[in-house]
């Protein structure tokens, strides 16, 4: 939706004034058709992020709230989003606005959204000279909107969207309905620079009252590495003149700061023009937003909004961690059976112990049959070795094998594998000094490696270097997947990371379209390496670019000597 041609306060004052005039003149409802022209409440802005940024949202909108500004922005919606907004202008008069909006991504290039925008314009009473109530009437508007946006052409650089609007207004006893259309487009001129245009509220009321049609154009510059977004808009409301808007958004960890300025050139420029500000707080899938918008001497509007953003794939079936480790444990069990059938007792015992070590604790209360068999076989083999004194030759061979395997794993960077191998060998030969020394050295090397990545990630976090922080915590998680600090950082900065990855994707698309296939492959590969949550579909574009590069190399003739 566009920024208001009249401020929200002027709109409400005008609507209430109409009702008061009608009641005062006749004692019954006599609605002035000329005054009702335009469904002015539809011009009240929607979306707290947008209002905090001075309503410069034509090109900057990339979430479900883009439905009310430029439906092309819905092409960037991924996963599922539910938003609730509450604006109390004057509780004493009952003036308020409430919004419910839902959106979801469709595949990797499209998105849709629906919303219900409800305006409660309060009630008016007429009383006689004795103060007795003669009539009490209320006013409300409900605006239902549905929209769709999709990406196409040049690997998604161009996005387009459409919206359908249905309005029902009960204004002090006079009911009016309307239907409208909206349309918009976005185009990435450069990887970080987007231009956009939209048409809104194109339609007429079914009772002859026109919707407040208008057009807007804007640009947005996104600098993810600096956590910054800048936006500019120009809007022409066909019935009320031109407006210019500017906005900025800056992210500091989980806190988002916003500011903007609106400049109107019409008759109500003094009230409509001015600064706005806002802030947001992001925690996991939950985001809370607030904006503060003064409208001259008439009013100051404060808006609060809550959005739940559920990532793509949240509801899709997944192979859970317990199932994966259960499968691994079963593999070790089968290896143990194989060694035992060959008479290699110690090797069989080691595999049974690996089976038990890898079996998930969550399943131990109701264990699978192979796990129970592994316990029994391990106990039997331990007793056999204890009573028979053990096969010292075989124990020595296994010790040597474990040391060699651990050394090989350490050189390959498989720290956990090396440490586990040595720990298992020590259960068979607890007094072997070589095993103990190797385990201590490998554990120290592993801890040092974790410490290096952790220190680098913390240093990056202090300097607000998102890329360096993500890269080092991702490397840490590759070594220790359950590290709480790294997991918390990744979850906390998921939105920032996604925005940065989208900018990488746009930059790679730019290289691809320009024919710089090697640069495109390199850029997409860098993005894929940082995409810990899988929020951006890099692999599809990577495969396409690599295939195109291979075809180009095949077509290039080999020079003859």
Question: What are the percentages of helix, strand and coil residues in the chain, rounded to 5?
Answer: 45, 30, 25
Whole-angstrom distance, CA of residue 139 vs CA of residue 157: 44
Tokens of 364: 């131990």
Whole-angstrom distance, CA of residue 259 vs CA of residue 264: 17
Tokens 């806002």 -> residue: 278
Q: Global pTM?
A: 0.58
Q: What angle do CA 501, 504, 505 make, to 5 degrees?
A: 90
What's the pLDDT tens digit per position in 294-306?
876 667 788 999 9
Helix axes 321-341, 345-358, angle to 10 degrees: 170
| Largest distance between two CA atoms of the chain | 114
Q: Which residues pair with 152 in a beta bridge?
A: 158
What confidence score (pLDDT) does residue 496 get? 83
Task: Please identify every stretch of the chain with a pLDDT value under 50, giving residue numbers as ranges.
Answer: 1-37, 317-324, 389-390
What's the pLDDT tens digit per position in 43-68?
788 899 999 999 999 999 999 999 99
The full set of domain ranges for the chain reads 8-310
Superfamily (CATH H level) for 8-310: Outer membrane protein transport protein (OMPP1/FadL/TodX) (2.40.160.60)
What confidence score (pLDDT) does residue 10 get? 43
What confidence score (pLDDT) does residue 388 get? 52
Tokens of 104: 């979801």
What confidence score (pLDDT) does residue 31 get? 32
DSSP alpha helices (H): ranges in 252-389? 269-272, 321-341, 345-358, 369-388
Nearest to 60 by CA among 236, 152, 158, 196: 196
Tokens of 17: 């004034």
What confidence score (pLDDT) does residue 226 get? 78
Cα–Cα distances in Å, from 19 out to 23, 36, 136?
A: 6, 11, 11
Q: Taking the C-alpha atoms of 482, 483, 488 and 489 in order, what is their torsion angle to the nearest 10 degrees?
A: -130
């Amino acid at each position: 939706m566009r920024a208001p041609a009249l401020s929200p306060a002027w709109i409400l004052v005008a609507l209430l004034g109409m009702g008061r005039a009608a009641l005062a003149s006749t004692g019954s409802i006599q609605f002035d058709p000329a005054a009702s022209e335009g469904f002015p409440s539809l011009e009240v802005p929607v979306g707290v992020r947008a209002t905090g940024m001075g309503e410069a949202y034509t090109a900057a909108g990339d979430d479900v709230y883009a439905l009310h500004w430029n439906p092309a922005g819905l092409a960037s919606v991924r996963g599922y989003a539910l938003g609730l907004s509450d604006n109390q202008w004057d509780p004493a008069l009952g003036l308020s606005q409430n919004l419910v909006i839902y959106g979801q991504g469709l595949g990797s290039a499209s998105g849709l959204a629906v919303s219900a925008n409800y305006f409660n314009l309060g009630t008016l009473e007429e009383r006689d000279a004795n103060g007795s109530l003669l009539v009490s009437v209320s006013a409300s508007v409900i605006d239902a909107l549905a929209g769709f946006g999709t990406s196409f052409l040049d690997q998604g650089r161009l996005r387009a969207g459409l919206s359908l609007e249905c309005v029902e207004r009960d204004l002090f006893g006079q009911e009016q309905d309307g239907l409208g259309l909206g349309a918009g487009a976005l185009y990435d001129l450069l990887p970080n620079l987007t231009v956009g245009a939209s048409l809104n509220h194109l339609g007429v009321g079914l009772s002859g009252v026109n919707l407040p049609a208008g057009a807007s154009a804007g640009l947005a510059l996104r600098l993810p590495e600096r956590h910054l977004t800048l936006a500019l808009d120009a809007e022409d409301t066909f019935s009320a003149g031109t407006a210019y808007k500017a906005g900025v958004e800056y992210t500091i960890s989980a806190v988002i700061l916003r500011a903007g300025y609106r400049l109107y050139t019409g008759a109500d420029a003094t009230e409509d023009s001015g600064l706005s500000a806002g802030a947001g707080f992001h925690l996991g899938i939950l985001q809370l937003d607030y904006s503060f918008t003064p409208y001259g001497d008439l009013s100051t509007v404060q808006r609060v909004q809550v959005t739940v953003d559920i990532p793509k794939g949240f509801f899709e079936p997944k192979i859970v961690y317990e199932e994966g480790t259960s499968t691994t444990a079963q593999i070790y069990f089968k290896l143990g059976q194989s060694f035992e059938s060959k008479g290699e007792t110690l090797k069989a015992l080691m595999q049974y112990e690996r089976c038990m070590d890898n079996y998930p604790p969550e399943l131990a209360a109701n264990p699978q049959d192979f796990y129970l068999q592994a316990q029994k076989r391990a106990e039997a083999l331990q007793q056999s070795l204890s009573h028979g004194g053990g096969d010292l030759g075989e124990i020595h061979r296994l010790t040597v094998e474990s040391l060699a395997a651990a050394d090989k794993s350490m050189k390959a960077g498989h720290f956990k594998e090396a440490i586990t191998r040595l720990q298992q060998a020590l259960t068979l030969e607890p007094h072997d000094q070589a095993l103990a020394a190797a385990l201590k050295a490998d554990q120290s090397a592993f801890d040092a490696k974790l410490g290096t990545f952790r220190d680098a990630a913390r240093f990056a976090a202090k300097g607000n270097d998102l890329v360096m922080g993500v890269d080092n915590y991702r490397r840490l998680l590759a070594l220790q997947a359950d590290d709480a600090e790294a997991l918390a950082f990744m979850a906390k900065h998921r939105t920032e990371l996604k925005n940065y990855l989208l900018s990488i994707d746009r930059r790679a698309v730019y290289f691809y379209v320009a024919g710089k296939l090697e640069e495109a492959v390199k850029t997409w590969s860098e993005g894929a390496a940082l995409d810990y949550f899988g929020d951006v579909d890099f692999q599809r574009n990577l495969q396409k670019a690599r295939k195109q590069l291979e075809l180009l190399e095949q077509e290039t003739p080999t020079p003859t000597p």
